[in-house]
Amino acid sequence: MLSEMSKMTDPEQQPQDNNIPLPFTTEPVAEVPIQSENLPPQWTISKLSDLFLKGLPAIAGLTAIFAVLGYVIVNLSLGFYTDIQPFSVVLNQYIATGIAVFILMSMIVVPAWFFSRRPSRLSRIGLSLIMALSEAFPLHVVFSIYNRGSRDLENILLEVGMWTIIFVFFIASGSELINMATNNRDLVTKLFAGTLGTLFIVLYILGIVAIYPILPRSLGGGYIGKVKLIFEGADLARSLNLPMVSDKETDEICLLAELTDGYLIYDPSQTQAFVIKYDLVVAIRDTWEPLDCSAPFFSSSTLPTATP
């Protein structure tokens, strides 16, 4: 009996149970941090409004720059037609013209900057020619569609060639000036490059002023429309001595710009510009008849002479 009790109390004689559960612990488990940089940004209305408010000064500054640039181009171009200073041109036209000038400038300055890093002058000229061709053909397509230009192969090649020469000149010249200014430590060379750069900018502005009258209005240009005005009364038409097809309807004349209070028109037969108030015009008839609307300095038309 004693031997059996000793076996029961002896731990070495107890059966070993390997399935005894581990004691329960209440220690907190460490959380694995989530990599927030790998998650897509959560855009909310408040975040978008904050971003817009932060960028508002930059937007306002760019708009002001575009407006000033457009004001200079528009008034320089209209100055060939009249001494009247059309300060009342619609503000949207100034801004659109400034944006168009900036885009055209980018089409020249950006490739010129990248091509200026090429060590060989021949490679810079070759790349400028390729870029000029890639930019000239789309411009020709846009202008021919908007201005209803000729579809003849000869005229297409002539216009594309003209735009290509213009772009090659400005891109190649710009790349040479940038290369000269950045890769030379000589002060005289830098001053020479700066002087040529100033001349380059002046030529660019004059070129924009020259092509402004043929740029589509929808792209920020000042394309001169050929229109016929229908007046409310016949007395005004007679007092202006405009070419008339009826008592109240003019013959085809040139619409230079829309002002905030009227139309700025140009009569090639008199080589004279007029500002006509909106409330004096009943309707405008759009026409596509050929008419020489070039500035008096460049026009082949002459002043009318009195007959005995």
Asked if the model's pLDDT at residue 88 lies above 60, the reply is: yes
- Confidence at 218, pLDDT banded by 50, 70, 90: confident
Is the same domain home to 144 and 127? yes
pTM for the whole thing? Answer: 0.68
Average pLDDT, the chain: 76
- Domain range for residue 115? 61-219
Domains in the chain: how many in total? 2
Contacts of 9 (CB under 8 A, 6+ apart): none
Statement: residue 213 has pLDDT above 80: yes
Neighbours of 225 (CB within 10 A): 19
pLDDT of 151 strictly over 70: no
pLDDT, residue 33, reads 54
Buried b (16+ CB within 10 A) or exposed e, 5-39: eeeeeeeeeeeeeeeeeeeeeeeeeeeeeeeeeee
Q: Is residue 303 part of a domain?
A: no
- Distance separating alpha carbons of residues 48 and 52, to the nearest angstrom: 6
Kindly state whether residues 236 and 207 are assigned to the same domain: no
Mean of the pLDDT values across residues 252-269? 87
Which parts of the chain are beta strand (E)? 225-231, 253-258, 262-267, 272-277, 281-286
| 86 and 142 together in one domain | yes
157 and 251 co-located in one domain: no
SS3 content of the chain, % helix, strand, coil (to 5): 55, 10, 35
Residues 100 and 232 both lie in one domain: no
| pLDDT of 178 | 82
Does one domain contain both 206 and 230? no
Tokens standing for 142? 């846009």
Cα separation, 258 vs 221, in Å, equals: 13
Q: Is 245 found in the same domain as 121?
A: no
Q: Of 219, 247, 266, which closes a domain?
A: 219
d(CA 284, CA 258): 12
Residue 194 is assigned to a structural domain of this protein: yes
Q: Is residue 255 part of a domain?
A: yes
